A and B are shown apart, each in its own frame.
Chain A
Amino acid sequence: MGEQWMFYFDPNRCIGCDACSIACKQRHDRDATADDWRTVSHLKRGEYPDFEDVPISMSCMHCHDAPCEEVCPPDAILKRDEDGIVTVDRDRCIGCHYCAWACPYGAPTYGDDGLMSKCNMCLGEGPGGGHGQPPKQKAEDGGAKPSCVDNCVGEAIKAGPQSEVMDEASEAAARRFENGAYGSRVIVEPIAEDAEAAEAIRSGEDDRADAWLNG
């Protein structure tokens, strides 16, 4: 069994430019209007000038416990042993949307054909492109760096085997991860802002972003 690959996100370095989201769509040759596999949402709070707008880049986190895999009736979703990447076999997918209900991050998307597609960490290209691919290789070993990582203007997104991502994370982020923040599904740097602002954001109204920031 290979080591679990994970995403890392540093909100302090995310400038909300959407390059990750656009690069993802281009790498996977998806239409401009198709739902995004990687989204940048903005958690907004407060009145001018006490206003906050925190950009948060999200995608499938390839969760260690993959709730989507658990609920998939035709077993189309696979949490791979070799690299932990969660892939979908679109020949088996029946478009029931159970995975969308189970996913904490809103990652599954559905095209005109009704079938699910989502991030495959650029294991392959295109919808379903990760299915059946050989184990994920690091860029230095000839693998494709996930497009969002490769094109992040602020170097806010990283991906790799868990131990390597942990090495690159700050001590605070690594400690939080080990303590179970974000369900230990993704490593996130703490927001470097004053406590009051952070608290205000934590009690924000955007559910998805709120879930992110609360861990």
Chain B
Amino acid sequence: MSSQGEYGGLTRRTMLKASGVAAGAAAVGGCLSMFDQEDPPVASIQDAEIAYGNCWMCCHDCSQKAYVNDGTVVDITGVDGNPRGSAGPGTEGTLCPKGLNQLDKTHDPDRIKQPYIREDGELREASWEEAFEYTAERLEAFDEEHGAETFLDAGSWAETPIFRHIWRDLYGTPERIGRGVHVCAGPTFVAGGMMGVGSNNRMPDYQNSEYLIMWGRNPFSSFAGQFEPKGILEAVEKNGATLVTIDPQHTQTVQKSDTWLPIKPRTDGALALAMGQVIIEEELYDEEFVEEWTYGFDAYREAVDGKTPEWAAEITGLDPDDIREVAIGFAEAAPQAGISIWTGTAQVGNGWKAAQNITALNGLVGNVDRPGGLRMWQSASPADPFEVQGIDLPNNAEGKEPALRKYEEYEEYPVRHVETIAHNLVPEMVENGHINGIYCHHDMPLKDGNAQGWLEAIEEMELVIAVDAYWNGITRNADVVFADATQLEKDTIGYGSWNSYSQHTWITGGKAAVEPQYDTKPDFDILVGIAEAMGWGEYFPWEDHEAFIDDQLSAFDLSLEELSSGDRNYELIDEYPYEQWKDGDGPAFRFDLDQVPPFVAAAEETGMDTAPEWVPPGTYGDELSEEYPLEFYDTRAVYFSHGSDQALDRLTEKYAERHDLEDREYRGNYLVINPRDAEPRGIETGEMVTVESETGAGELMAYVSERTQPGFVTTVYGYGEGSLRPDDEGMNSMKVHDTQMDPITGQPDRHVAVDVHGGDG
């Protein structure tokens, strides 16, 4: 595969060793080559130096330990006891398959190796100085011609916060798109926030739980740090916790669950109401918490009235006894009972009500911020380096309104009351001339809804600045491409919230394990380079990223050197109690959102109630039809994250092996289709098939399997047109998608009505 091309079949470490041997041999006789060496010994990890850092393959900061030999990373593993990559004190810290592959990524000859700028319509290699100067010229011209406020900041996965200061505060654009709220799980985040629990409805207090419901989640394959699967295994083994999974597809989490509710897609909101109905009817709810700490219970009680398990069974396809059993099991275990939701219940047109109805169950049983329930996670608070240095940043975006709220063209979209941008609408904004440029940092928006619109929009935009490690639909179409270093080549710091220590905030970090390979630079240096070329150098006095991080760490009387020396690279910071809502003024939890003005405005326009309610599939989004009878949805695999790992051979090989298709040359994604749908269409595993919706189509290889529900077809996203697969291999799953979305948050609704054609039958 790709690494064989330049290494002549030798791998990284044999290359390292053999090239030394060959150089020595050449000095002696000049006739030996490295290919004469049979079985050259590999560079041993025993002699290697150790460098600590944070894994950023899925951006969740599992601590890592790299073994470095002569400037090459020869092995990599986790750090025991670390907050995100272990199950807590005294447990093994590891890296998942993605994390392990940082090693290959760092030394991958197919990486973007130096900056590029567009000249006469073509990208050409450029020096860093040239690229920075060119960027500054283009940004200044863009501001004059189109206005800085029409430049979109999509810097989601930067490993430094300074991109926000550059684009918002200095360049002066109010336009910003993130991955979390805007394309990952808008309803989960925003409904959680409005109901009073933030986005903590994603992450229960695993270690202390006795009953865990993974609702539209598969944390054994798609986790936000390995502490998730590890924490669940601990809860099951040590607490005897009951594990329930609610998912239309069979997953590894389902395999390990005590109960699987194989729900019909997009009916989660109905199931949640029925569970609430049972819990109230059985008087299993936390009356004291509901009475004293919540708002809007009467509206909720009314919403669930009559929504019996039998009512929900008709909608969800589940057995009413199973619904009753899970509702009672959850309520009886509460408060040591938690629900986790994230993307599965959010990437649907009726996802807002799914999130609201499911999150309501937490308030009902009073598990909010109690051990084993829905934890109100806190983060450590590093210092603001700008404050430490006494730097007063201007706010050049002040008074500028985002286009979504500014122009009448978007008045029909209720999302404008709640959010400042919607992913699916960006192509329309480009067409209207309201967005004319983008800064894209590993963001890969081409995989995330309205793909055809986005592919055209990127070509249409006047200025595209890309920071990335691989060639993809963004970098290939950019005007400037900055070659980003991998996290093994960067200084890193992480201090998120949820983790395996239920009562502690934490930080983890480390220094670059190796120098940036090829002619790449860490994103901090790239952003400072842009700032200096723009004449904003005075705002960035730090010598390097380590100095910036040291200012952040000054809040904890630590330096990066101290944090990452010794035998680990993480520290626990503050201890914080449960039931933090007792210190608050208002209600800890809201069932009804009638006091939240942005939502009230959006709900009015969509015709939604402010309290939980049942909204059937198709109310917003696709309805299945005779022409398009199958429900299509894109998913994740343990091997990939955010569409940026599909260039790595070890991962694509494993994905192929997982489907028993490794002997085929094809390394694209697979369409998982149930035999009951495949047979009438004459489709067999290994055949290329076409997925077609009303608005688009794509081709990929079929994998016929009982693991998916009849009528429900899925594939892994991050492939096909615009992806970083060579020759766009596979299918861009969002090519069949248009602008279907949750009307409240603008979250793309990734459930699309399709049919599948092809095969030999």
* Chain A residues within 8 Å of B, Cβ to Cβ: 12-13, 15-19, 21-23, 25-33, 42, 44, 46-49, 51-55, 90, 112-113, 125-129, 144, 147, 150-155
Contact = CB atoms under 8 A, between A and B. Distances in A.
B706 A17 contact: no
Max chain B CB contacts within 10 Å: which of A51, A53, A152, A155?
A: A51
Interface residues on B, range: 35 or more
Closest 7 CB pairs of A and B: A32-B649, A15-B220, A49-B262, A126-B42, A29-B13, A32-B650, A29-B42
B75 A27 contact: yes
A49 to B, nearest CB: 4
Given A150-B77, A155-B91, A155-B92, A44 B14 contact: no
Contacts of B705: 44
Contacts of A155: 91-92, 230, 233
Contacts, number: 139
B101 interface: yes
B1 interface: yes
Contacts of B44: 125
Given A19-B95, A31-B4, A51-B250, A154 B229 contact: yes
A195 to B, nearest CB: 15
A125 B653 contact: no
A153 B500 CA distance: 14
Contacts of A16: 220-221, 252, 638
A31 B38 CA distance: 16
Nearest to B226: A153
A151 B229 contact: no
A127 B46 CA distance: 17
A151 B77 contact: yes
A2 to B, nearest CB: 21
Contacts of B4: 31
Interface in B101-137: 101, 103-104
A150 B3 contact: no
B639 interface: yes
Contacts of B657: 18
Interface string B646-677: 00011101100110000000000000001000
B708 interface: yes
Contacts of B649: 32-33
A17 B638 contact: yes
A25 B674 CA distance: 33
A153 B650 contact: no
B492 to A, nearest CB: 20
A90 B39 CA distance: 9
A48 B650 contact: no
B697 interface: no
B709 interface: yes
A19 B96 contact: yes
A154 B45 contact: no
A26 B706 contact: no
B97 A22 contact: yes
Contact of A151 (B95, B250, B252, B639): B95
A127 B252 contact: no
A198 B41 CA distance: 44
Contacts of B252: 15-17, 53, 55
A52 B100 contact: no
